[in-house]
Structure 1
């Protein structure tokens, strides 16, 4: 594998380019981005070797195309690329939800005459985006999830590319785990999406209640910073996640509402101690 195209040179796309170079990848890395400024930043950082002017031409000239864009943009690009790429190509992505992407992959790709699609999701990131925050070590020690496809045998060449891509993911320092798409979305609703929306709700509430208090930056300490860090995350990314994993996120939020109500109702009873003990046990494990 000598030619990789990264569609989306924001935080994740730029970090992939930097991590590949750090892992010893010697081939060509081309970046494509709707915002040329982000691509130019990635180029200046050494994450990519060149900037692709046209998405279709850039994809066709590559062996592996990584879609590192928001989910709706990923789904749109999948539709565009399905008709122009062949079995000598592999597409993969970094989307935070997998059910719709995996369904589209089964409909559009993974046939003998079309490219293969390997849905992926690195459990790594930062609360803010942008190429300038790209980090070669972002994936080190992280889990990179895949919702694999049982039809690789229909396209041995694509299967080889998928195997090689997985090896490079490990080379970037990540551990790989395979999950079914529905199970993936259920799990990340609890461990990723629930923390985000909790931080968003808390940060928005604080902004409404005490955001104009001049003492806030002095009174609010580490606990406030840690609990509201994710409040800086961009709506443009989380809108797509909320739209494509609505039921699982809603169920997790409802469970949290019930847990908060239970705590509120037991502020002066021993059951509050039980909640702290369960929370401590989770953190120890």
Structure 2
């Protein structure tokens, strides 16, 4: 049973976790910490957390479950720090967007005799902008929450109980739990999450260069422009770590798209163009 939760990083996802836990009926205490004091205060005032820790280590020490809700490299750094201050009666989990390095670090720093348990996780939910002020109790409802647990992880009985309990709370928050191999996770999200982001970034960037100063741009572009460039508002601070930790998979997806775009460009006046639309239509129907 989980009675105390620590949320390290009260941005969009961290604040949303706190709000979603409360909405799901969690009655225990939730302590939070954020690099920006303002972000922690916003999370506190919204009711996502009950108190603010002075640092991430003290937050983890007070909790049964610690949720690392920070960019990937910061998660890896915190894993190395936190493991030295908690024991086998704790669980650490995360919400990082790439999982191979984090899952390997989990085996190195946790899931050993005398160490805390670690459960690598990734909720497939978010918004194009971050920040505690955008926290949403319904953010995870209907979303997949992916776990990439290492096979044969060594855990105390208490650690194993906390893993099962946290998975149950994830379901209570409205998510569908899916277990994946870490390498398969990174390959898959490169296609379904990372590729759309970089396409939106590239499209927004080229539009800014070519027609960004046109006064009638927003009116002419309409809904199609808004939908296709929505992710262009996403912060580099988060996507830098994703690009650095999933480079090969993202590059492969981008190369495949480049080839498909070249094929379309070369067939704007041939029946091949119809075939591309038919493939796209089938994908959307399915």
TM (norm. structure 2) is 0.98
Q: Match of 1:266?
A: 267
| Residue equivalent to 2:9 | 8
Shift of residue 256, structure 1, vs aligned partner? 0.2
What aligned pairs does 1:232-251 form with structure 2 within 5 A after superposition? 232-251=233-252
Q: Are 1:230 and 2:228 matched, yes or no?
A: no
Q: Within 5 Å, which residues of 2 pair with 1:124-203?
A: 124-152=125-153, 154-203=155-204
- Show the counterpart of 2:110: 109
**Could you say what secondary structure the match of 1:75 adopts?**
helix
Helix, strand or coil at the partner of 1:112 = coil
- Paired with 1:46 and 1:278, the residues of 2 have a C-alpha distance of 46
- C-alpha distance in structure 2 between counterparts of 1:243 and 1:153, whole Å: 29
Larger mean CA deviation between 49-58 and 199-208 belongs to: 49-58
Residues in 1 aligned to 2:189 and 2:133: alpha-carbon distance in whole angstroms: 26
- Residue 156 of structure 1 and its aligned partner are, at CA, apart by 1.6
Question: Which residue does 2:87 correspond to in 1?
Answer: 86
Contact residue 11 and residue 131 of structure 1 kept, 8 A: yes
Q: Tell whether the 8 Å contact from 1:14 to 1:134 is kept in structure 2 after alignment.
A: yes
SS at match of 1:221: helix
Q: Which runs of 4+ in 1 moved over 4 A?
A: none
Q: In the TM superposition, what is the alpha-carbon distance from 1:152 to its structure 2 partner?
A: 4.3
**Cα deviations across residues 127-185 of structure 1 (Å, max 9, x unaligned)?**
00000100000000000000013334542210100000000000000000000000000
Work out whether 1:71 is the aligned partner of 2:72. Answer: yes
Secondary structure (helix, strand or coil) at the match of 1:220 reads helix
Tell me the equivalent position of 2:212.
211
SS of 2:114's partner is coil
Q: Residues of 2 paired with 1:51 and 1:282: CA distance?
A: 46
Which secondary structure state, in structure 2, belongs to the residue aligned with residue 145 of structure 1? strand
1:86 Cα deviation after fit = 0.5
Structure 1, unaligned runs of 5 or more: none
Supply the distance in 1 between the matched residues of 2:271 and 2:202 (Cα, whole angstroms): 28
8 Å contact from structure 2 (residues 113, 154) kept in 1: no
CA distance in 1, matches of 2:154, 2:114: 13
Contact 1:91 1:117 in 2 (8 A): yes
> Aligned-residue CA RMSD in angstroms?
0.7
Deviation string for 1:230-267 (max 9, x for gaps)? 00000000000000000000000000000000000000
Question: Normalised by the size of structure 1, how large is the TM-score?
Answer: 0.99
What are the superposed Cα offsets for residues 22-65 of structure 1, whole Å, 9 maximum, x if unpaired? 00000000010110100000000000000001221211111100
Q: How does 1:31-46 map to 2 (within 5 A)?
A: 31-46=32-47
- Is this contact kept in 2: 1:110–1:151, CA < 8 A? no
> Contact conserved, 2:103 with 2:182, CA < 8 A, in 1?
yes
Q: What does the per-residue CA deviation read over 1:64-104, in whole Å, with 9 as the maximum and x for residues that have no partner?
A: 00000000100000010111110011000000000000011
Quick check: 2:125–2:140 contact (8 Å CA) kept in 1?
Answer: yes
For structure 2, the residue ranges without an aligned partner over 5 or more in a row are: none
Matches of 2:195 and 2:94, distance apart in 1 = 22
- Equivalent-residue separation in structure 2 for 1:76 and 1:12 (angstroms): 19
SS of 1:25 mapped into structure 2: coil
Q: CA deviation at 1:13?
A: 0.3
